[in-house]
Amino acid sequence: MKLGQPKAMHNQSDQAAGIRKMNKIKPVRVIAITSGKGGVGKTNLSVNIGIALSQIGQRVVLMDADMGLANVDILLGVYPTFNLSHVLSGEKSLNEIMIEGPLGLRVIPGASGIQKMSELSTIEQASVIHAFSEIDQDIDVLIVDTAAGISASVVNFARACQEIVVVVCDEPTSLTDAYAFIKLLNRDYGLSSFHVITNMVPTLQQGQTLFQKLNKVTDRYLDVTLKFAGAVPYDEYLRKAVQKQTPVVVGFPRSKSALALKMIATRIDSWPVKSQAGGYIEFFIERMIQYGSQKDTV
């Protein structure tokens, strides 16, 4: 037995090394959660989906990419001292500015003015890529919570991600603005695949009906594929959770909205992960910078 133990331990060590090697080349799922207009609950969904993914064993980082009106920290009831601008200045590392959220969710706080990636110097660009590459082997999913609208910043973030999730609610302006956003990315940048979440709907069936309304228009006028990612019902517990600055999947885990969000997270977890270079976070940042520098020439 004693003679066999070192061998077993050696085998276990080899297995662990093999797992680490596999993890080193494992691509990261990079998802943009966005919307055509504000007020549709996009950031709330980003926070709760991130936590729900953590609950099923994924290592998740949520990047608050609404640099002008960053509010992920407010929804979590935390107030960061540092943000991505301090990484660019060299004052802090990316790990040092991250907020620890519920159930292992990590948050990269946004800051005003740093969305203009095209204005970064070569050294600053390299520092951003290096900062993200330091954490890319310790993460399964990067969720990018963009600002609302069709600004250059939103477009650049969306284009850099592997998957784009568009959040809509049952308001004419929400559908109109979502269509405009999808049309812009399709006609100007060639993107053709989008996921849609319908939020604050009375029932799942009405959420699917809302999705079909949008899908019918895009089918007629655009060369795109929309996929229904799920519906989140209107829920007073969700409102209570916001008031308490607690994610609903944590504060009210058996509520209708929490159960719906967990189902959406499970569905997202089943999406195929792209294995090409675009699966790595540093490549995401490189593309974001590249697209930002192209905005004046497109």
List domains and CATH numbers for the chain: 32-159+231-294 (3.40.50.300)
* Strand order from edge to edge, sheet including 29-34: 99-100, 106-108, 60-64, 141-145, 29-34, 163-169, 193-201, 225-233
Give one word for 163, left, alpha or beta, with left for phi > 0 and alpha for psi -120 to 50. Answer: beta
What are the residue ranges of helices labelled H in the chain?
Answer: 4-24, 42-55, 72-76, 84-88, 94-97, 122-133, 152-160, 172-189, 204-221, 236-243, 248-251, 256-269, 281-294
CA atoms within 13 A on the CB side of 160: 28
Cα gap 100→198, rounded to integer Å = 28
Q: Taking the model in full, what pTM does it have?
A: 0.83
Cα gap 287→77, rounded to integer Å = 32
Query: What pLDDT sits at residue 265?
Result: 98
Cα gap 285→134, rounded to integer Å = 13
Return all residues near 98 (Cβ < 8 A) that are at least 6 apart.
Answer: 61, 106, 107, 108
Return all residues near 27 (Cβ < 8 A) that are at least 6 apart.
Answer: 273, 274, 275, 276, 278, 279, 280
Query: What pLDDT sits at residue 75?
Result: 86
CB atoms within 10 A of CB 146: 27
pLDDT along the chain (298 residues), means of 10: 42 42 63 90 95 96 78 83 80 86 89 61 67 74 89 84 94 95 95 97 96 97 97 96 93 97 97 62 73 60
Measured distance between the N- and C-terminal CA atoms of the chain, rounded to whole angstroms = 69
Question: Phi then psi for 74, rounded to 5 degrees?
Answer: -65, -45
Question: At which residue do the structure tokens 């608050």 appear?
Answer: 64
Please choose, from the candidates 207, 119, 194, the residue with its C-alpha nearest in 3D space to the C-alpha of residue 164. Answer: 194
